[in-house]
Amino acid sequence: MLSVGLTGGIGAGKSEVSRLLASYGAILIDADRIAREVVEPGTEGLAAVVAEFGTSVLTEDGTLDRPALGAIVFADESRRQALNAIVHPLVGRRSAELQAAAGPGDIVVNDVPLLAENSLAPFYDLVIVVDADPATQLDRLVRLRGMSQEEARSRMAAQATREQRLAVADVVIDNDGPLEDLEPQVRKVWQELRDRT
C-alpha cells in the first residue's frame, strides 16, 4: 500500500485533484468529509463542540451551524485551536481506520487541507501539494465560491503559507492555469504512483 498525503491552500484546486485521483482508482480518505461526519447530530464530536462554544453554533434542527462557528473560529486563533483540539483527533482516528482497511496494492490518497499546519507530512510515504498563486486562490474563492474578499483573505491567512506547503512537498501539481491543464498533470502523477507500488 502507498499512503499519499494530498494538500493545497484553499482555492488551489485540491478537491479537483483528489476527485481525479479517485476516478483513476485511488482510495480517497477526505479529511474535510470526515470532519463533517464527526460533528453530525448525536456524535461525541458535536457534543464536545457545543460544550466548548455553546448552543449558538447549532441550527434550529440541532445540526452544526457551520457559518456561525466559522465566524467565531476564523476571527480568533485561540477559538480555532480549541475547535481543532476537538475535531482533529476524531478525524485522525477515523482516517486511520479507513487506511487500515486498504489492500496491499492500493494507493490511499489522504486529502488533508491542514497537512502542513499540523506537521503531518512524516506520516505519509509521499506528499503531493496542489499549488496556485495566492492571487489565483483569492480570485477563485471570490468568483467561484462567492466569498467576500475579506472572508477569502481571512481563510487564506488561517492556513499555512505557500512556502510552508511547498517545503513539505515531494510532488507539486501546478494549478495556476485553466482546468484543462490540470488533468494531464494529475494523470502523470497517478502513473508515477502506480510505478511506485
Q: What is the DSSP string of the chain?
A: -EEEEEEE-TTSSHHHHHHHHHHHTPEEEEHHHHHHHTTSTTSHHHHHHHHHH-GGGB-TTSSB-HHHHHHHHTT-HHHHHHHHHHHHHHHHHHHHHHHHTS-TT-EEEEE-TTTTTTT-GGGSSEEEEEE--HHHHHHHHHHTT---HHHHHHHHHTS--HHHHHHT-SEEEE-SS-GGGHHHHHHHHHHHHHHH-
pLDDT tens digits, 12-41: 999 999 999 999 999 999 999 999 999 999
pLDDT tens digits, 42-73: 999 999 999 999 999 999 999 999 999 999 99
Q: pTM for the whole thing?
A: 0.85
pLDDT tens digits, 66-99: 999 999 998 898 999 999 999 999 999 999 999 9
Of the pLDDT bands very low, low, confident and very high (cuts 50, 70, 90), residue 197 is: confident
Q: Which CATH architecture has domain 2-196?
A: 3-Layer(aba) Sandwich (3.40)
Average pLDDT score over the chain: 95
Looking at the predicted structure, is the pLDDT value of residue 158 above 90?
Answer: no
Of the pLDDT bands very low, low, confident and very high (cuts 50, 70, 90), residue 114 is: confident
